[in-house]
Chains A and B, each alone.
Chain A
Amino acid sequence: MKRPGWRLVYGRVPWAWPLAGVVAIILATTAVSGRGPVPDLQSALQQGAVVVILGLGQLFLITAGNGNVDLSMPGIITLAGFAGIGTAADTHSNFLGLLAAIGVGLGSGLVNIVLILVVAIPPIVGTLATGLLLDSVVLEVGASGPNTPGSLSQFSVERMAGIPVVALVALGVTLVAALVLHKTAFGRSVAAIGQSRKAALRSGLLVNSVVAGCYLISGSCAGVAGLLLSAMTGASIGIGDPYLLVSVAVVVLGGSRIRGGRSNVTGVWVGAVLLNVLLTLFYALHLSAAYQDIAEGCVIVGVLAGAADKLGATQ
């Protein structure tokens, strides 16, 4: 992978290859199943919306580098689902439900911040601990689970001009994330810390405050995603569990540096859609679960390997 052409493309548009992959996979699925690409893409957007929002949360942390990542996301998703749906049902206000879900995310973010920045536990362990804590809380409160208000579940499957509404919500979150990451001092500080924590400290950046901000953002994202997911399927214990790996995978697939310092917001979408159309292709090919996991792993490793020289170049 030393050809300058590849480097040029990858440097400027790091999600170009994954996007080409999406197109190839949709064409392959269409050929195998004999059905049009439109339902495939609609389904990928519907399913991908939740993953995009989660991925954007992880993007802030991964961009801040230094091993920052939020493994408490599955717990936040589940608890925020219960809190959000429960509040919406009790108050007949979906907006208050959203606030409750975000509140759970912010609260969990605070716990993460205390564990990581005050107690100085490595993020990978600290956030895992928070996740376990949240799971326990869910088990306690989960015994009196709420009914999803009809308006909320209808909203979650609504479409505008063929585009799932949840995808439009994800788009809104994406625009905000892009603005914050690329156009604000905070966003640039995040990238600076990811590139070199030492340099960021010496240039007077409030490193801990910025990292703390990232945990609050990732918690809020997980809260919003938890509410959307629960609106689709109903709040239930373990609902967030399948989302841990994918929330990180979409960030990496989308061309952001896994060691931090460089983010790519658009790439998160490409990564999320890629994983979804891939799953559809696997089912169309009647691959069993074991082979699906192997194939999915190969795709992730392949993309990482393709980006490897770029990863090394800026170290």
Chain B
Amino acid sequence: MPFNRGCYPKALAALPLTTVALGLASIAAGSATAASHIEPMGPPIQGAATAVQKGKYTIALSDAYVGNNWRKEMISGWTTEAKLAEKEGYIASYKVDITAENTAAAQIAQIDSLILQHVNAIDIDAASPTALNPVITKACDAGITVVVMDSLASAPCEYNLTNNTAQWGSDLAQIVINGLHGKGNIILAQGIEGSAPNAIAVAAQHKLLAKYPGIHIVATVDGEGSVATTQQAIAAVLPSLGKVNGVIDQTGAAGVFAAFKAAGRPLPVVAYTADGLSLRIWQQQLKADPKYTATGVGSDPGEGSAAFWESVLLLNKATFAGKTTPHMLVWPNLFISDKTLDEWLKVVPASDLCANVWTLPEVKNGILDNIDNKTVPPPPVPNFTV
């Protein structure tokens, strides 16, 4: 049964998805994922988690925004795993509850209604880092398990599962630095000016760049997390610059390469984003030069599927080597290497977003890794058949 997973459009490599809370969360959980894992690792080791019982649970997904492909992929991943869990008897039923208003008020009403329906667990992508706290607390008091992913809230009783924004920012920079062997002139293209995730990512990039005296930032521009704006900004700054060897940006290569081509300059070293468009540009470079090497990184919409299984584990009161599930789980960003590029190209249409598929055993192992302060390894590239 093939299903439509994919990528979201470049524009949000940045962050329409995350919020202030995510930043705080990343800092709090920093130690769990201190190490970068640009290379995908081998298959996960079987963990020492308790067995999951079949149960008569109802799990709901609450999302207040569907205005980009990231959310669409997140919902698709969650729903696919929920269907599977229903079929295999882990849950009795599931419910996807979506409003498109992107307001905290609409989501509060939505969660209130889910509490009245006596669901057993609610997975939330929060419209506000604070406004949902009272209703989340109310849900917990009613005995409902609450998992908040992606854009987090900050109620003490909630469980969180999210990507690490600071790590994502410094990975983008590390890829370019490695590509330049630590020497060269770079342009730093920032994301949405004034947004918390951008501030966290850029701070991490500056911290990393400070360790490389051979890298010179010759210009800083604002790409606003959009390919078109990045292209305009880079095109505008290039005439005032000498040689530029690399560009650190958050939207993949499309905008950067367009600006460099239009200016008749050799293409710079970039980090690709984990979306179909970026990967196809990467493929074109590879066709022109078989020795071309690159890395892609992106926020993983697959955390929807991971959050679903976390809810199932929480409802089962699963323990991991005797320990309970931590309230903050840091889930890995999505990496694409020279080795996995072809596999991803097969399953991701252009202008879709790559998304991992997290299964129950992988989520169990991921929780164990979080308990052990280890980086969670990525799952195998999905082949889109369940």
With A145-B349, A238-B11 already in contact, the answer to whether A233 and B258 are too (CB < 8 A) is yes
Interface members, chain B 207-238 (any A CB < 8 Å): 219-222, 224, 226-229, 231-233, 235-238
CB atoms of B227 and A234 under 8 A apart: yes
Q: Is B67 an interface residue (CB 8 A)?
A: yes
Q: Which residues of B contact A139 (CB under 8 A)?
A: 67-69, 72
CB atoms of B228 and A145 under 8 A apart: no
Cα A282 to Cα B11 with chains together (Å) = 24
Report the nearest A residue to B281, measured CB to CB: A234
Interface members, chain A 254-304 (any B CB < 8 Å): 276, 279-284, 286, 288-290, 292
Cα A290 to Cα B224 with chains together (Å) = 12
Q: Is A146 an interface residue (CB 8 A)?
A: yes
Q: Which residues of A contact B224 (CB under 8 A)?
A: 242
With A139-B67, A142-B69 already in contact, the answer to whether A283 and B263 are too (CB < 8 A) is no
Cα A143 to Cα B264 with chains together (Å) = 32
Cα A32 to Cα B240 with chains together (Å) = 8
Size band of the interface chain B makes with A: 35 or more
Most B CB atoms within 10 A — which of A29, A32, A235? A235
CB atoms of B10 and A236 under 8 A apart: yes
Q: Which residues of B contact A283 (CB under 8 A)?
A: 219, 221, 233, 236-237, 240
The contact string, 1 if C-beta is below 8 Å from chain B, for chain A 22-35, is: 00000001001101
Cα A232 to Cα B237 with chains together (Å) = 17
Q: Is A7 an interface residue (CB 8 A)?
A: no
Tell me the minimal C-beta distance from B272 to chain A in angstroms.
13
Which residue of B69, B190, B226, B262 is within 8 Å of A232 (Cβ)?
Answer: B262
Q: Which residues of A contact B277 (CB under 8 A)?
A: 145, 234, 236
Q: Which residues of B contact A156 (CB under 8 A)?
A: 258, 262
Cα A100 to Cα B316 with chains together (Å) = 54
Which residue of A143, A235, A239 is within 8 Å of B352 (Cβ)?
Answer: A143
Which residue of B220, B226, B254, B262 is within 8 Å of A238 (Cβ)?
Answer: B226
Q: Is B241 an interface residue (CB 8 A)?
A: yes
Tell me the minimal C-beta distance from B383 to chain A in angstroms.
19
Q: Which residues of B contact A151 (CB under 8 A)?
A: none
With A40-B239, A145-B352 already in contact, the answer to whether A232 and B231 are too (CB < 8 A) is yes
The contact string, 1 if C-beta is below 8 Å from chain A, for chain B 158-181, is: 000000000000000000000000
Cα A29 to Cα B68 with chains together (Å) = 38
CB atoms of A143 and B72 under 8 A apart: yes
Cα A9 to Cα B233 with chains together (Å) = 33
Cα A296 to Cα B10 with chains together (Å) = 27
Interface members, chain A 114-161 (any B CB < 8 Å): 139, 142-147, 156-157, 159
Q: Which residues of A contact B262 (CB under 8 A)?
A: 43, 46-47, 156-157, 164, 232
Which residue of B222, B239, B254, B255 is within 8 Å of A43 (Cβ)?
Answer: B239
Cα A195 to Cα B150 with chains together (Å) = 54
Size band of the interface chain A makes with B: 35 or more
Which residue of B232, B233, B350 is within 8 Å of A145 (Cβ)?
Answer: B350
CB atoms of B6 and A143 under 8 A apart: yes
CB atoms of B228 and A233 under 8 A apart: yes
Q: Which residues of A contact B237 (CB under 8 A)?
A: 280, 283-284
CB atoms of B236 and A145 under 8 A apart: no
Cα A283 to Cα B190 with chains together (Å) = 13
Q: Which residues of A contact B261 (CB under 8 A)?
A: 157
Q: Which residues of A contact B263 (CB under 8 A)?
A: 39, 42-43, 46
Tell me the minimal C-beta distance from A236 to chain B in angstroms.
5
Cα A243 to Cα B229 with chains together (Å) = 9
The contact string, 1 if C-beta is below 8 Å from chain A, for chain B 261-287, is: 111100000000000110011000000
B positions within 8 Å CB-CB of A: 4, 6, 8-11, 67-69, 72, 190, 193-194, 219-222, 224, 226-229, 231-233, 235-242, 254-255, 258, 261-264, 276-277, 280-281, 349-352
9 A–B contacts from the bound complex (CB under 8 Å): A29-B239, A35-B240, A142-B9, A234-B227, A234-B258, A234-B281, A236-B228, A237-B9, A242-B232
A positions within 8 Å CB-CB of B: 29, 32-33, 35, 39-40, 42-43, 46-47, 139, 142-147, 156-157, 159, 164, 229, 232-243, 276, 279-284, 286, 288-290, 292
